[in-house]
């Protein structure tokens, strides 16, 4: 099933906070609750967040009691502001919401006062189109990226980039899944990905569903295996990639990239072109989310809180990997190699 989907006039999403212990699907009927679900990480992963936000905008349309086109569009724009504020780093969130609003504004014959109900369904159809396209894009990235994987490879993967992080299939984990389905024998080292443990909880759970061999490792173990020659490739996702190929991804990605570079191991972010932000010249311009310190301080070991009672913490959610550490970027339009400033633009805009 899909991570994010529309059913019975409701947005439904797998609750990723409680996996792998429990599998539950939550229902949403208003856009404010969707924004809260994005912020609270009921749904996470840049593509999944984008689709959820687009469906949230559709809910806003059905919530609105406006009987005029002008008022309804104003309500949609207000809802868009609420949804886009939920999480700042993942560019797909704003991209998806803005894409729906742009489609509304570009309708050739404009909107008459009798088009209110039609607008509501138009927004929903645009959201559904974004969701459907995400699945197709992921499968195309899977095919391109799987060509980089050899039979017998061991791969390090950080965070979760599978079906749970997208509408379906996945980005970096989708590449690994595609290689597995092609019959390649592969093994995956799964970074725990502290503090929320998306690797240990979500990626490990997904790999079990696919029958792909894996072992969970603590985040600070990756360097050991890379130096020991036990790893052939690193695949990660991206929440936003700048025009020069700097990659913002889950915290810990930068350290993994440094260790991979120092040991000559190829490092590949898997990035739908919707996640490439050509408006940002470099990664230092990417807004970085800092989350509640309790996500760090609340960690327990054998049922006991790890940190002292009065401890303080910083909880940076993402870091930026500079392009010099990136071997190539896998997109739905092929694998992009340096110089990224030129070739990413070609991949996104179709320039020759």
Q: Which residues contact 160 (CB under 8 A, 6 or more apart)?
A: 44, 45, 173, 193, 198, 199, 201, 202, 203, 206
- pLDDT score for 336: 98
CA angle 102, 280, 239 (to 5 degrees): 80
Helix 31-39 × helix 46-63 angle, to 10°: 160
Q: Which residues of 145-183 are buried (b: 16+ CB within 10 A; e: fewer)?
A: bbebbeeebbbbbbbbbbbbbbbbbbbbbbbbbbbbeee
The ranges assigned to domains in the chain are 4-138, 141-349
Tokens 């919401």 correspond to what residue? 97
Closest C-alpha to 159, from 199, 126, 128? 199
Q: Which of 239, 246, 277, 319 is catalytic?
A: 239
| 150: DSSP letter | P
User: How many angstroms separate the CA atoms of 159 and 45, rounded?
Assistant: 10
Closest CA to 48 of 96, 85, 99, 81: 96
C-alpha torsion angle, residues 19, 175, 128, 31 (rounded to 10):
40
293: tokens are 């310190």
32-74 tens-digit pLDDT: 999 999 999 999 999 999 999 999 999 999 999 998 898 999 9
To 10 degrees, the CA torsion angle through 321, 326, 328, 330?
-20
- With bands split at pLDDT 50, 70 and 90, how would you rate the model's confidence at 88? confident
Q: What is the DSSP string of 72-101?
A: HHHHHHHHHHHHHTS-SS-HHHHHHHHHHH
Locate all alpha helices (DSSP H) within 64-221, ordered by sequence: 69-84, 91-105, 116-146, 172-181, 198, 204-210
| Residue range 169-188, pLDDT digits in tens | 999 999 999 999 999 999 99
The rounded mean pLDDT for the chain is 96
Length of the chain: 352
- 215-242 mean pLDDT: 98
pLDDT for residue 106: 83
Sign of the CA dihedral running 204, 210, 215, 217: negative
CATH number of 141-349: 3.40.50.10470
Angstrom distance (rounded) from CA 156 to CA 333: 24
Q: Name the least confident of 87-91, 157-161, 315-319.
A: 87-91
Q: Residue 90 has what pLDDT?
A: 84
Q: Other CB atoms closer than 10 Å to residue 86's CB: what's the count?
A: 20
Tokens of 203: 């990626």
219 included as an active-site residue: no
Average pLDDT over residues 216-239: 98
Give the residue carrying structure tokens 């504004």: 105
Whose structure tokens read 């072992």?
215
* pLDDT exceeds 60 at position 108: no
From the options 1.10.600.10, 3.40.50.2300, 3.40.630.30, 1.20.120.420, give the CATH code of 4-138. Answer: 1.20.120.420
């Amino acid at each position: 099933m899909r991570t994010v989907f529309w059913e019975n006039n409701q947005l439904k999403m797998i609750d990723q906070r409680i996996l792998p212990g429990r599998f539950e699907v939550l229902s949403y009927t208003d856009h404010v609750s969707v924004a809260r679900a994005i912020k609270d990480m009921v749904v996470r992963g840049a593509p999944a967040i984008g689709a959820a936000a687009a469906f949230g905008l559709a809910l806003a349309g059905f919530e609105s009691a406006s009987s005029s086109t002008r008022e309804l569009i104003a309500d949609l724009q207000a809802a868009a502001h609420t949804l886009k504020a939920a999480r700042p780093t993942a560019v797909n969130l704003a991209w998806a919401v803005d894409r729906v609003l742009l489609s509304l504004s570009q309708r050739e014959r404009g909107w008459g006062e009798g088009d209110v109900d039609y607008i509501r369904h138009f927004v929903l159809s645009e959201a559904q189109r974004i969701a459907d396209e995400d699945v197709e894009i992921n499968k195309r990235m899977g095919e391109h990226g799987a060509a980089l994987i050899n039979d017998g490879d061991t791969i390090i993967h950080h965070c979760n980039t599978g079906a749970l992080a997208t509408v379906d299939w996945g980005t970096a984990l989708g590449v690994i899944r595609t290689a597995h389905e092609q019959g390649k024998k592969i093994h995956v080292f799964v970074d725990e990905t502290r503090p929320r443990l998306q690797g240990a909880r979500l990626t490990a759970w997904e790999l079990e569903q696919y029958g792909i061999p894996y072992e969970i490792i603590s985040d600070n173990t990756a360097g050991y295996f890379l130096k020991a020659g036990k790893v052939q490739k690193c695949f990660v996702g991206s929440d936003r990639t700048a025009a020069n190929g700097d990659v913002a991804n889950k915290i810990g990605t930068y350290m993994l990239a440094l260790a991979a570079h120092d040991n000559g191991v190829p490092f590949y972010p898997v990035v739908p072109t919707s996640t490439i932000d050509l408006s940002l010249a470099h990664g230092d311009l990417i807004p970085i989310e800092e989350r509640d310190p309790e996500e760090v301080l609340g960690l327990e070991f054998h049922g006991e809180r790890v940190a002292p009672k009065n401890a303080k913490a910083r909880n940076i959610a993402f870091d930026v990997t500079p392009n010099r550490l990136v071997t190539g970027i896998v997109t739905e339009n092929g694998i992009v190699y340096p110089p990224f400033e030129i070739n990413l633009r070609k991949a996104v805009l179709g320039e020759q």
